[in-house]
Amino acid sequence: MTSTQHDRPDRNLALELARVTEAAALAAARLVGRGDKEAADQAAVDAMRFVLDSVPMNGTVVIGEGEKDEAPMLYNGETIGDGSPPEVDIAVDPLEGTRLCALGMPSAIAVIALAERGTMFDPGPIVYMEKMAGAEEIADLLDLDRPIGETLKLIADRKGMGVGDVTVVMLDRERHQGMIGEVRDAGGRIKLITDGDVSAALLAVSDRSPVDLLWGIGGTPEGVISAAALKCMGGELLGRLWPRDETERQAALDGGYDLTRVLTANDLCWGDDVFFSATGVTDGDVLQGVRYRGRGATTESLVMRSRSGTVRRVHARHDRTKLRDITGERYG
């Protein structure tokens, strides 16, 4: 085996990552509806970190819970895995939708993505980016500069339906009021969500979804994770960095970032061998949440690999008593 072959992420890492997101989801699910989003997030982080230590890889967190001083675990720059090859970049969101989990609302998920070392975009000081995402069928129609009404008409024509049947998923934010008006003025439909950038991107490309397009301004780190998912699942994501104020704009320019550039999924995650896993915490349009059956629990995960184009939907049953024997109280 050559050195290059040895350093390449191994095929079985995909299912290893499923164990990671299952652990995070099971831990966070014990706090669904309890009103404490910080505790739910910490539970997910602790469980994810516990399982990651056993994964055969030398990973560096490039998209994590924040800087080291702000995040006790899974911080940007942290080394995770058992230290063996391959060397990889890791992007995590142990609990996307902390508020959703705390309030018992739909679409909270646990997420992780992995790619070869040095192949994930560093968001730097820019917290938000303008995004547009859609399935492979309409990938060539996406354009951040074209009026949205024209894009909706192109999508409708491509799919053989009227503009009034095209649905755009957007975060329900004040900054989107003008964009919401543009979609409605063009005759399109909108699905507003309270949280969940990655979940929304999955929704826009899933063949089980009524959503046709993701559009709006959301988190840049979540854009990188979404790009990793789309590299595996198909479709396209376009993004353009969106500074919140002049200070952030200047910091980005000083760091060498081009604020006019439209980034593709390949620009955000350019690895050839990308892995992605997401497990539902609460029921949503993309994934079923954790459900309890006596002393057991069930989970549903999406597990993907770009190199093979394999997308698995994994339904798992867990014995919580046995898990507690192995892990302590992390799984409730």
List residues forming the annotated binding site for substrate: 96-98, 128, 173-175, 195-197, 219
CA 151, 155, 158, 163 torsion-angle sign = negative
Angle separating helix axes 148-159 and 177-185, nearest 10 degrees: 50
The span from the CA of 76 to the CA of 72, in Å, is 11
The span from the CA of 15 to the CA of 38, in Å, is 28
Residues at the binding site for Mn(2+) are: 41, 65, 93, 96, 222
How does strand 189-193 pair with strand 291-293? unpaired
Nearest to 94 by CA among 74, 117, 120: 74
- The answer for residues whose C-beta is within 8 angstroms of residue 58's C-beta and 6 or more apart is 79, 81, 83, 84, 85, 86, 87, 88
The span from the CA of 11 to the CA of 275, in Å, is 9
Q: What are phi and psi of 248, to 5 degrees?
A: -65, -40
SS3 state of residue 121: coil
- Answer for the pair 195, 99: CB distance below 8 angstroms, yes or no: yes
Residues at the binding site are: 41, 65, 93, 96-98, 128, 173-175, 195-197, 219, 222
